[in-house]
A and B are shown apart, each in its own frame.
Chain A
Amino acid sequence: DAGVIQSPRHEVTEMGQEVTLRCKPISGHNSLFWYRQTMMRGLELLIYFNNNVPIDDSGMPEDRFSAKMPNASFSTLKIQPSEPRDSAVYFCASRAPGQGGYGYTFGSGTRLTVV
């Protein structure tokens, strides 16, 4: 298994531009999470999908952020328009079925820099 696959690995963009981050979870995992990591705040949950349905998006900072999961093998996180304070490492993680009984498998992350 290739694990959780995220793309791109690095993204540098100018303020005001649209940014789309992509994630392919592990086949058979039915929960998908988007986290953001910064030195100041650590890992913060942005949104959680279960069976492709958004369950908890309370961590999405504001309307500039949106996430979709059109099918079990693909999810996107979009920021429009991007701002310098969005600079962070964005991680996607997936988990096997079964509430709380399993650890998360994280992707390698996308390092986003907004200049």
Chain B
Amino acid sequence: SQKIEQNSEALNIQEGKTATLTCNYTNYSPAYLQWYRQDPGRGPVFLLLIRENEKEKRKERLKVTFDTTLKQSLFHITASQPADSATYLCARGGYSTLTFGKGTMLLVSP
């Protein structure tokens, strides 16, 4: 089966630092990976999509990489703020549907 794995331990960082979250997948590379943010009591919110043939994608303070050799995607938030505290979900894209990881909680302290 196609798995997607994220670090279950929360990541604690100080405001202003760069947060880096990891997503690993098994078996063949998906056509694309997506990253979502989820706040407590809310549904996930789409942030970024990166395709298999793209090495890096940026959006404002966010950066995503896709390494098909390591079977890994990294999600970076630069100049992190307390408002960035949330759970971040990685998802691998198949033909039509997404398989989600369980997410990593990010806590940014002032």
Q: By CB atoms of chain A within 10 A, which of B31, B34, B43, B96 has the most? A: B43
List, in ascending order, chain A residues with CB within 8 A of B102's CB. Answer: 41-43
Q: Say which one of B11-19, B44-52, B71-79 lies at the interface with A.
A: B44-52
For residue B99, which residues in chain A have a CB less than 8 angstroms away from its CB? 45
A104 and B101 contact, Cβ closer than 8 Å, known pairs A43-B89, A91-B43, A93-B43: no
Interface size, chain A (Cβ < 8 Å): 25
How many chain B residues touch A (CB < 8 A): the figure is: 24
Cβ of B98 under 8 Å from chain A:
yes
> Is A71 in the interface zone, CB < 8 Å from B?
no
B residues 43-69 near A (Cβ < 8 Å) are 43-47, 49
| Cβ-closest chain B residue relative to A55 | B96
Contact B97 A45, beta carbon cutoff 8 Å: yes
Q: Are A108 and B96 in contact (CB under 8 A)?
A: no
Beta-carbon contacts of A24-43 to B below 8 Å, as 1s and 0s?
00000001010100000111
Q: Which residue of A lies closest to B95 (CB)?
A: A99
Query: B: which residues have CB within 8 A of A?
Result: 31-32, 34, 36, 41-47, 49, 89, 93-103
